[in-house]
Amino acid sequence: MWRFVLVLLFSGTVMADELTLERLFASPDLAGASLRQAKVSPDGARVTFLRGKAENKDRYDLWEYNITDNKTRLLVDSDLLQPVQIELSDEEKARRERQRLAGLSGIIEYDWSDDGRSLLFPLGGDLFVYHLGVAADKAVTQLTDSDAFDTDARFSPKGNHVSFIRNQNIYVVSVDDGGERQLTFDGKGPIKNGMAEFVAQEEMDRDTGYWWSPDEQHIAFLRVDESPVSITKRYEINANNIEVIEQRYPYTGEANVTLRLGRIELKSGDIHWIDTGKETDIYIPRVKWLPDSQAVAYLRQSRNQQHLEMIKVDLAGESTSLFTEQSDTWINLHHDWRFLDDGGFIWASELKGFKHLYHVVPGQKPLKAITAGDWMVDAIVGISYDQSKVYFTGTYDSPLEKQLYVQDLDTQTPDKPKKITQAAGFHEITMDDKATVYIDTRSDNDQPPQTSLHRADGERITWLNENALNKNHPYYPYLQAHRPNEFGTLKAEDGQTLYYRMIKPAGFSQDKQYPVFFYTYGGPGAQLVNKAWPRRLFEQYMAQQGFIVFVLDNRGMARRGVKFEAPLYKQMGSVELDDQLVGVDYLKSLDYVDADRIGIFGWSYGGYMALRALTQAPDEFAIGVSVAPVSDFRLYDTHYTERYMSTPQLNAEGYEKTAIYGDTANLKDGRLLLIHGMADDNVLFTNATTVMSKFQDHGILFESMVYPGAKHGISGEQAQYHVYKTIYDFFERKLTGVD
């Protein structure tokens, strides 16, 4: 907070422009210039990143910061290569929706060659290579040019090839001569080679289906057969037409895809299939080559997600089980496993209640703890093999922050990591392969993301994007009206600590009573109460319009350990609402809160929570806005839902209680605004229409707003503006007496 005060004191007179809804979603972004996908080059000479255009914050170009000459410059202007926005393929639209990239254009991803001499980026379905050290007019080479849409492209480990997916098959192209080879041939219809299936992209944080060996001689890949998954006819209602989409959607309790794990010999093109066991109803969430390229390892996850096994397969096809985990609830997936020279590996586990790092040597017990204590590791960001150190982010200082720490692999004090970052807030860290430097993107509730380059010990080398809140910053005119976050704690019924944050309205007075904008998510895997710059400034807008903003993280949400997450097992929507009602009770105890004017808002799982609150606790909330909600988890996918609820066949009572339908008669007239995208392929529009029908059957009046052609995120500047204008209008009419 001190930094924010200093900005006000030393920046001269701060303008007091009104923060409008139009400005929230216009360009340039109020958070200031943002750097996406910042990466240190393999040779450590530069940092590359994607930056939105000043006139269009959602269209990205490729930039670099050169460490040698301390200069930041534009490398590739996406408009020069492709000045006209092209129509994406359906597969690419779906992939971008899964990766939360819908609505972005230009260069949205890129890859470094291992020698640090070239950059690869896809644009408009074709692949381009940017060669460093070459005259600007000759620096860019178009590598592919076809009518198909080439995706998931990357350099091979030694930079001799570029691999990619075209028409559901794996291809490679020579960087030297542009010669192209097709490696798989049966990809079509329900067969997809080297591609991530729907639940892998949406729920496992895996958006690829193939992996190069370090020696560049082999490619491991998954062959996905979607045939067992039933076809759902999904109606995408657009502004001027209706498309019937036959989507293979794996509803909870029903069939998943079947998977085959294979290995392609690059020289011969031969495919060797790997035996993954007799049980085929499994998941393969992770695949990784061992450093010597003589074996590939994969994680084999049971359908109920209570059993996870790491298996190594050598080039002769011999399998060895390296590690097994078991849980009575579920096992959270992660990317934190690294193979070491001693034949062992680093593995992250929640076996003692919090996610921590362990040094595992197959056949040796007990596991050697690298970190320990009542806090958790977020992710490994780097390993210095020379110094036997592991760098990671975590919650050692506070679960409301994310800081960078380092620990010796052979430490005797796993409960005492060394802290590297010092400033309070959230630090998103990207480290180079040798763990010598790192990129730190830091923010807090009052400071939008700043990006800097540091040595491994924390010393700052330079700002990549200081993003100072000075008179040149887009948010500068609105600083005087900016409202601070206040943090506090409450107790759940089992005694666990619940964190909340509150933003008091402009012109706050203890002698007045205010309506409440009660913002919730509630579901697992997310955290809303933290010390990070918000994804959008709608909370600030609502506070400046006279609302108290209140956010509480209930049991089941992320970054608090197994004990905090597990209570929702087989009963989603129960403890979450119980905890949110603890927040309501607290608000009603405050003299400056109008207990009759508390409105709840949520999106996705938060939309589900808003519906649940209005139907199960109708006297506690005056109104609610539910965006893209699940109304019945029997309509959601296998991997996500079964992780927390088991299957409808094994937990029929739990699913029945979790569904909104049984309580729809409790909704009071005029209390609900229901919003949904009419082409949502994640939380299907059926969730909205089914619950709408139930409310209508009971004769209950409610409001709705639907968006033709919109997916789950209802993306796009104009659509986002309209969504939030609609939300604000409902709160204003219902809670300020205008209606």
pLDDT digits (tens, 9 = 90+) for 204-215: 999 999 999 999
609: containing domain: 482-735
pLDDT digits (tens, 9 = 90+) for 223-258: 999 999 999 888 899 999 999 988 899 999 999 999
Q: How far apart are CA 545 and CA 19, in angstroms?
A: 9
Q: How far apart are CA 713 and CA 723, in angstroms?
A: 10
Whole-number pLDDT of residue 57: 79
Kindly state whether residue 320 falls inside one of the protein's structural domains. Answer: yes
What distance lies between CA 645 and its chain's CA centroid? 22
pLDDT band, residue 4 (cuts 50/70/90): very low
Of 333, 350, 383, the position where a domain reaches its end is 333
Q: Is the peptide bond before 366 cis (omega within 30 degrees of 0)?
A: yes
Kindly state whether residue 20 falls inside one of the protein's structural domains. Answer: no
Whole-number pLDDT of residue 739: 57
Kindly state whether residue 104 falls inside one of the protein's structural domains. Answer: no
Q: Which residue has the tokens 């052979």?
A: 410
Beta bridge mates, 142: 128
Q: Which residue has the tokens 């319009």?
A: 545
Kindly state whether residue 117 falls inside one of the protein's structural domains. Answer: no
Q: Mean of the pLDDT values across residues 680-708?
A: 96
CATH number, domain with residue 652? 3.40.50.1820
Whole-number pLDDT of residue 101: 59
Kindly state whether residue 639 falls inside one of the protein's structural domains. Answer: yes
Q: What total of structural domains would you count in the chain?
A: 2
- How many CB atoms within 10 Å of residue 146? 13
Of 285, 310, 333, the position where a domain reaches its end is 333
What distance lies between CA 132 and its chain's CA centroid? 32
pLDDT digits (tens, 9 = 90+) for 14-40: 456 889 999 999 989 999 987 889 999
Q: Picking from 172-176, 513-517, 559-563, which range would have the lowest pLDDT averaged per residue?
A: 172-176
pLDDT band, residue 711 (cuts 50/70/90): very high
Catalytic annotation, residues: 604, 680, 712
Task: Decide if pLDDT at 10 tops 50.
Answer: no
Is 417 in a helix, a strand, or coil? coil
pLDDT digits (tens, 9 = 90+) for 302-314: 999 999 999 999 9
**Residue closest to 232 by CA, chosen among 255, 210, 250, 212:** 250
Whole-number pLDDT of residue 97: 64
Half-sphere exposure of 728 (CA within 13 A, CB side): 21
Q: How far apart are CA 223 and CA 186, in angstroms?
A: 10
Burial tier of 22 (Cβ tally within 10 Å: 0-12, 13-18, 19+): exposed
Kindly state whether residue 612 falls inside one of the protein's structural domains. Answer: yes
Q: Are 450 and 463 in contact (CB under 8 A)?
A: yes
Rounded to the nearest integer, the mean pLDDT of the chain is 93
Highest mean pLDDT among 75-84, 96-105, 216-225: 216-225
Kindly state whether residue 431 falls inside one of the protein's structural domains. Answer: no
Q: Are 676 and 692 in contact (CB under 8 A)?
A: no
Whole-number pLDDT of residue 90: 64
Whole-number pLDDT of residue 92: 64
pTM of the model: 0.93
Of 309, 333, 357, the position where a domain reaches its end is 333
Whole-number pLDDT of residue 17: 84
Q: Mean of the pLDDT values across residues 347-371?
A: 94
pLDDT digits (tens, 9 = 90+) for 504-513: 999 999 999 9
CATH number, domain with residue 203? 2.140.10.30
Half-sphere exposure of 701 (CA within 13 A, CB side): 2
**Residue closest to 308 by CA, chosen among 292, 330, 340:** 330
pLDDT digits (tens, 9 = 90+) for 417-432: 999 999 999 999 999 9
What element of type H or E holds 381?
Answer: strand 377-384
Task: Decide if pLDDT at 595 tops 90.
Answer: yes
Q: Are 335 and 286 in contact (CB under 8 A)?
A: yes
Kindly state whether residue 105 falls inside one of the protein's structural domains. Answer: no
Q: Mean of the pLDDT values across residues 462-491?
A: 96
Q: What would you report as the CA-atom Rg of the chain, rounded to the nearest whole angstrom?
A: 26
- How many CB atoms within 10 Å of residue 303? 17
Whole-number pLDDT of residue 307: 98
pLDDT band, residue 531 (cuts 50/70/90): very high
